[in-house]
């Protein structure tokens, strides 16, 4: 039974106080609703609270990776770099929390363990790890797509006697690597961002790489005052363009990764080998940005991969290390793009060793380090940069039960099922923010978060206006939406057989291989969501 004290009985419980939960709180307050936000961490910021590893940084231009809901906030906040580093983004989150007095409705150090729909009251009963209960009409899961760190199950992993860290759960106090031997497992975005910074401080760094990645140079730089002024003056246009775009990024002033904005319009299949070689020599990795056909055609993509490998070969002094760093056997663009600052240059340093696990994998973790088929490695510090149980991980950790006590984990046993990434059939008045089936992680998340919260708030207001108690996706609408999500993902690099991305759940043993986000684009998706709402919530069942 939920606590019936007035303070724990609210209109909306929001789980999570990252950018989604923070905006949800602000937005629902505007509707005059009572809200409680429950957050496992000690403070706001979500991703940017937990991922404090050295080198952590946004890869979307900061003027675009920011809230758009308040004109004055937009005008007052001054980003200092093209792409902000984690401390600055966390400072921004704190500024927003102070400015809108958010903390008074957020309960920190509160992990939600279960949430159960009570069919007699049409309310959700929420239970926290500490045993506290809440009752809410609406439950908004702002639990994050990348908020459950994945630590692989490696034999002997508890044996290591030195310091152990995960990039996704970095200590608030920071870590001093001076004079230490460090080992790091993983070369996704988190590994690629942290490796160059750790290498500068540590006595020695050993990088364990299972799959080499495709990464582009970040071209980050301080933001010039006149540019920032111009961007602020242009904000209404920038925001409108973001909302109508494919990925929520317009590249205002600079393109992907802060480099000069280049629209991919050319066909790599129309070029000669000599031309491609010349372009690599002139422009390095960035030469590849001009080609449109590499996103859809695997043979074209392979030509781009050749250009990529040629540039790796040009940058790395030791040929064996160069070969180890060359991605092969999967297409460029099938995983989340990675951008870096001096990643490849780091492997030319004397204090960095690359262990190519394709030549012999990790056998076990020992008390002094890592034992592989190629030999043993000893360190003082071991870092897991091994990613997350993405998109469904945080929801799966909560015992969510809808009608007839059905568990969400059972309903999703064969993979996540949602209507529009917003709701699940059988789970009335429960909303997922940037859930599977929405553009989510394929987009600038701030744009997608605001769109989802705005839609949910409109929906709640409409229900109240029409005197409705509950809203629930129908199974038919869910089926149709899933079929559409799958259809648009076909014949893209994302679903290539050779691709083992976390978008597909392929990084977690036993997770069903399903392409989870929606490729249709944030503009198209927004129109669809708005149309559904305007048509009386087509595909949803509203009950009085
Ligand atoms: P989160 O920020 O993940 O917040 C979710 C919160 O929910 C967390 O604080 C968590 O503690 C809490 N929570 C979860 N489960 C529970 C529970 N059971 N009980 C209580 N609390 C719970 N996106 C981009 O668009 N551009 C980028 O450049 C970019 N860079 C990234 C870099 C890193 C290192 C990572 C990990 C992600 C990055 N992302 C980026 C994605 C990023 O997650 C989103 O941009 C955004 O911050 C997500 O906000 P959120 O509020 O939805 O989720
Ligand atoms: P990730 O992309 O999933 O990378 C995890 C890495 O760990 C991979 O190299 C993986 O190798 C390796 N790994 C996992 N298990 C292993 C094992 N048992 N043995 C050896 N290696 C193992 O995770 P991430 O780097 O944390 O990034 C996750 C997402 O967070 C990104 O895609 C992005 O969306 C977001 N992010 C963004 C930024 C940014 O630039 N703004 C920075 C960090 C994170 P395999 O590839 O072989 O599986």
Q: What is the pLDDT of residues 208-221, one digit of tens each?
A: 999 999 999 998 99
pLDDT higher than 90, residue 230? yes
Q: Where does the pLDDT of residue 337 fall: very low under 50, low under 70, confident under 90, or very high at 90 and above?
A: confident
40 C-alpha to ligand 2 centroid (Å): 23
Number of Cβ within a 10 Å radius of residue 159: 12
Rg from Cα positions in the chain: 24
Number of Cβ within a 10 Å radius of residue 505: 24
Query: Which residues lie below 8 Å from residue 229, measured CB to CB, with a gap of 6+?
Result: none
Q: What angle do CA 139, 144, 76 make, to 5 degrees?
A: 100
Q: Which of 312, 352, 379 is nearest to 198 (CA)?
A: 352
pLDDT higher than 60, residue 1? no
More confident residue, 493 or 365: 365
The span from the CA of 63 to the CA of 86, in Å, is 15
Please report the pLDDT score of residue 3 as a whole number.
58
Residues in the chain, total = 544
Q: Of all residues in the chain, what percent carry a pLDDT higher than 90?
A: 89
172 C-alpha to ligand 2 centroid (Å): 21
- Pair of tokens at residue 113: 């363990």
The span from the CA of 2 to the CA of 131, in Å, is 10
Report the predicted TM-score, pTM, of the whole model to 2 decimal places.
0.96
pLDDT higher than 90, residue 258? no
| CB-based burial, 343-372: b 16+ in 10 Å, e otherwise | bbbbbeeeebebbbbeeeebeebbebbbbb
Q: Where does the pLDDT of residue 392 fall: very low under 50, low under 70, confident under 90, or very high at 90 and above?
A: very high
151 ligand 2 Cβ < 6 A: no
Quote the CATH superfamily of domain 6-44+102-147+389-543.
FAD/NAD(P)-binding domain (3.50.50.60)
Q: Whose CA is nearest to atom 23 of ligand 1?
A: 445
- 5-9 own/partner pairs: CB under 8 Å, 24+ apart: 8/36, 8/132, 8/133, 8/134, 8/135, 9/134, 9/135, 9/136
Please report the pLDDT score of residue 221 as a whole number.
92
What is the rounded average pLDDT for all residues in the chain?
Answer: 95
Query: Which residues lie below 8 Å from residue 192, measured CB to CB, with a gap of 6+?
Result: 213, 215, 338, 340, 343
pLDDT higher than 70, residue 257? no
Task: Tell me the Ramachandran region of residue 125: left when phi exceeds 0, alpha when psi lies from -120 to 50, beta otherwise.
Answer: beta
The answer to whether the CB of 108 falls within 8 A of the CB of 42 is yes
Please report the pLDDT score of residue 95 as a whole number.
98
Domain boundaries, the chain: 6-44+102-147+389-543, 163-384
Q: Where does the pLDDT of residue 505 fall: very low under 50, low under 70, confident under 90, or very high at 90 and above?
A: confident
Q: What is the largest CA-CA distance in the chain?
A: 74
Q: Where does the pLDDT of residue 6 fall: very low under 50, low under 70, confident under 90, or very high at 90 and above?
A: low
- Ligand 2 atom having least distance to the Cα of 211: 47
Please report the pLDDT score of residue 251 as a whole number.
86
The answer to whether the CB of 202 falls within 8 A of the CB of 182 is yes
Q: Of all residues in the chain, what percent carry a pLDDT higher than 70?
A: 98
Query: Which residues lie below 8 Å from residue 103, measured CB to CB, with a gap of 6+?
Result: 44, 97
146 ligand 2 Cβ < 6 A: yes
Q: Where does the pLDDT of residue 497 fall: very low under 50, low under 70, confident under 90, or very high at 90 and above?
A: confident
The span from the CA of 480 to the CA of 478, in Å, is 5
186 C-alpha to ligand 2 centroid (Å): 6
19 ligand 1 Cβ < 6 A: yes
The span from the CA of 100 to the CA of 477, in Å, is 37
387 ligand 2 Cβ < 6 A: yes
């Amino acid at each position: 039974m939920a606590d019936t004290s007035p303070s724990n009985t609210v209109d909306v419980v929001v789980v999570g106080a990252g950018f989604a939960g923070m905006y949800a709180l602000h937005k629902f307050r505007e509707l005059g609703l009572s809200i409680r936000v429950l957050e496992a961490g000690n403070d706001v910021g979500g991703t940017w609270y937990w991922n404090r590893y050295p080198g952590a940084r946004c890869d979307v231009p900061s003027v675009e990776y920011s809230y758009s809901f308040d004109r004055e906030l937009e005008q007052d906040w001054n980003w200092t770099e093209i792409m902000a580093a984690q401390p600055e983004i966390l400072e921004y989150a704190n500024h927003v929390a102070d400015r809108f007095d958010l903390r008074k409705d957020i309960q920190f150090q509160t992990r939600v363990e279960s949430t159960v729909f009570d069919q007699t009251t049409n309310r959700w009963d929420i239970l926290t790890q500490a045993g506290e209960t809440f009752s809410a009409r609406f439950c908004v899961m702002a639990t994050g797509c990348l908020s459950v760190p994945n630590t692989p199950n490696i034999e002997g992993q508890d044996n290591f006697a030195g310091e152990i860290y995960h990039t996704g759960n970095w200590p608030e106090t920071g870590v001093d690597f001076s004079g230490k031997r460090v080992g790091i497992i993983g070369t996704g975005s988190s590994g690629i961002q942290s490796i160059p910074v750790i290498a500068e401080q540590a006595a020695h760094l050993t990088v364990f790489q299972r799959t080499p990645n495709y990464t582009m140079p970040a071209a980050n730089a301080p933001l010039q005052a006149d540019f920032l002024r111009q961007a602020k003056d242009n904000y209404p246009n920038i925001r409108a363009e973001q909302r109508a775009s494919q990925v929520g990024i317009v590249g205002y002033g600079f393109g992907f990764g802060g480099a000069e904005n280049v629209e991919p319009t050319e066909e790599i299949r129309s070029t000669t080998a000599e031309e491609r070689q010349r372009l690599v020599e002139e422009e390095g990795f960035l030469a590849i940005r001009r080609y449109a056909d590499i996103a859809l055609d695997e043979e074209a993509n392979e030509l781009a991969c050749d250009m990529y490998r040629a540039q790796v070969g040009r940058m790395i002094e030791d040929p064996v290390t160069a070969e180890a760093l060359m991605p092969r056997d999967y297409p460029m663009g099938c995983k989340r793009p990675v951008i870096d600052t001096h990643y490849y240059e780091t492997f030319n340093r004397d204090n960095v060793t690359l262990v190519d696990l394709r030549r012999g994998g990790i056998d076990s973790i020992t008390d002094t380090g890592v034992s592989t088929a190629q030999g043993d490695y000893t360190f003082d510090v071991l870092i897991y940069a091994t990613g997350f149980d993405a998109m469904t991980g945080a929801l799966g950790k909560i015992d969510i039960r809808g009608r007839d006590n059905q568990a969400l984990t059972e309903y999703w046993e064969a993979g996540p099922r949602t209507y529009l990434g917003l709701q699940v059939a059988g789970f009335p008045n429960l909303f997922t923010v940037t859930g599977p089936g929405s553009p989510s992680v394929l987009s600038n998340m701030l744009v997608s978060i605001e769109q989802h919260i705005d839609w949910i708030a409109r929906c709640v207001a409409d229900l109240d206006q029409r005197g409705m108690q509950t809203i629930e996706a129908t199974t038919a609408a869910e089926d149709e939406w899933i079929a559409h999500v799958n259809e648009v993902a076909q014949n893209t690099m994302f679903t290539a057989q050779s691709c083992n991305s976390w978008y597909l759940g392929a990084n977690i043993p036993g997770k069903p291989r399903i392409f989870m986000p929606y490729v249709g684009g944030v503009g198209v998706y927004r129109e669809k969501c708005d149309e559904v709402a305007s048509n009386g919530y087509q595909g949803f069942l509203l009950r009085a």
